[in-house]
Amino acid sequence: MGRILQNIANIFRIEDLRSKILFTLGMLVVYRLGAFIPAPGINLEAIRPLQEAAEDGGILNFLQLFSGGALTQFAIFSLGIFPYITASIIMQVMGVVVPRIEQWQQQGAVGQRKINQWTRYLTIGIALIQSTGFAFLFHNQGGGLAGSTGIPDLLPDFTAPRVGLVVLTLTAGTALLMWMGELITQKGIGNGMSIIIFAAVVSSLPNQFSLVKGNSGWPGVFEVLAMYLVLLVLIVFVEQGQRRIPVQFAKRVVGRRMTTGGSTYIPLKVNQSGVIPIIFASSVLYLPQLIVVVLPSGGWGEAIRTWTNDHLLRYDDPFYLVFFGLLIIGFAYFYTAISFDPVKQADNIRKQGGFVPGIRPGRPTERYLAHILSRITLPGSLFLALIALTPAVVIGNIVPTSTQGIFSFTGISILIAVGVALETMKQIDSQLMLRNYEGFLK
């Protein structure tokens, strides 16, 4: 404990590091303030019923995760950073199928600037579509969207100018958040977008523990806390795990000079895809819930809505657990395949005059890398499924089913929180060790 306090004191002794941390904290304060300022023209009396209904489950649980509760406030930051996440994923997937984007990915810093610019454009487009959709849904089907009924109209003055003002406000809020995230990356500490997501998911934890205490008392709180601690240790252990593939470089003659050979390694993480498969799987799982909102009441529409509520909203339902787990595993393999290409990696090694010891360059290296990647992806995907499903099973035995909605994404929350915290601490450690101070991580 004494060493940790000493390291914290060292952080504030370094003027540059201190200013970066204070700047980051200032941006987060602005973000949290914006999460409670409602958009103009909103029926404020409908906000509290909407928040209570959202706790019963529904698509709002997933969307609130990245807005820090701003969506049920219909605040200026209601969309959060989710449009940017969606745009980034789309750009990364398009890099596999669109030759121009693939060329940009290979152009280094210049190409990355082009990708970032188009990601911003796509973010604004997605924000416009989402804000328009939410304006109509909260006006017509607010109760169904939240998983409940009897919620007052959030947009009683549903005219074109009023809707346009709400759409413009929410889109501008997303653009402002995107700009703040880039500022944090440039002038603060850590990755700005990740820090904002971290603040959003962590801000929901006190409410989750208060709900557990209200339903199960302090014993339930300690059980959930023990689950969090176990998952935290497991996440740190797996997230730090790597399969290091050695690469040897032979001596080469460049002009009149001979370059000496060397050795390095390719670090393949056990969880190569990060939290993206859980986000993909959650989006697919909750898409039917968004669709059934607009189905007619009674008849076949009511039958589909009932089946969806029984099997896609009950987190202790066997169908939910099996289907959600299979989606996570499938998306883990998919995203790993598009984020790490063994063919390109083997080709780069060959062009640089390198080789994997015991493996011939070219296609043998490609097959070797693909084999290693498939072997480590399986435990990584099973790990993600375990992290996503364990909270649903544990909390399902602690709190009543009717109040489990707010806990449906605690697996994503803790995975994001621990991952971002580790990356940020690594940056702080590098700054400390650069100035001959001892770091936090060993």
Q: Over 80: is that where the pLDDT of 182 sits?
A: yes
DSSP for 36-92 reads TSBPTT--GGGHHHHHHHHTT-SHHHHHHHTTTTHHHHTBTTTTTTHHHHHHHHHHH
Distance of alpha carbon 17 from alpha carbon 39, whole angstroms: 36
Beta-carbon count within 10 A of 18 CB: 12
pLDDT(180) > 60: yes
Q: What is the DSSP string of 10-40?
A: HHHHSHHHHHHHHHHHHHHHHHHHHTTSBPT
Please report where in the chains the tokens 């993480």 appear, as a residue.
Answer: 269
Q: Measuring CA to CA, how many Å separate 306 from each of 67, 209, 322?
A: 28, 29, 19
Highest mean pLDDT among 53-67, 122-136, 201-215, 271-285: 122-136
pLDDT one-digit tens code per residue, 248-274? 877 666 566 656 667 788 888 888 887
Residue 280 has pLDDT above 70, yes or no: yes
pLDDT tens, residue by residue, 214-244:
777 788 788 888 888 888 888 888 888 888 8
Query: Considering the chain, what is the average pLDDT of its residues?
Result: 78
CA 142 distance to own-chain centroid: 25
pLDDT 10s digits, 12-53: 777 888 888 899 999 999 998 888 888 887 777 777 766 666
Structure-model confidence comparison of residues 442 and 87, the more confident one: 87
First to last CA, the chain: 15
| Cβ–Cβ < 8 Å for 71, 36 | no
Both structure tokens of 302 = 């009511």
* 122, pLDDT greater than 90: yes
Residue 94 has pLDDT above 80, yes or no: yes
pTM, full prediction: 0.78
pLDDT at residue 156, as a whole number: 76
**Residue 98's pLDDT band (boundaries 50, 70, 90)?**
confident
Mean pLDDT across 83-91: 85
Residue 147, pLDDT score = 46
State the pairing for strand pair 257-259/354-355: unpaired
- Give pLDDT, residue 176: 93
Tally of CB atoms within 10 A around 341: 16
* pLDDT value of residue 123: 93
Which has more pLDDT, 40 or 119? 119
Rounded average pLDDT over 289-293: 68
- The letter for the amino acid at 424 is T
Supply the pLDDT for residue 281. Answer: 80
Rounded distance between C-alpha atoms, residue 201 and residue 410, angstroms: 9
- Specify the pLDDT at position 10: 72
pLDDT digits (tens, 9 = 90+) for 400-422: 554 445 455 567 777 878 878 88
User: What does the angle CA 16 – CA 20 – CA 22 come to, to the nearest 5 degrees?
Assistant: 115
Q: Would you say the C-alpha torsion 258, 261, 262, 264 has a positive or negative sign?
A: positive
Q: Is 141 helix (H, G, I), strand (E, B) or coil?
A: coil
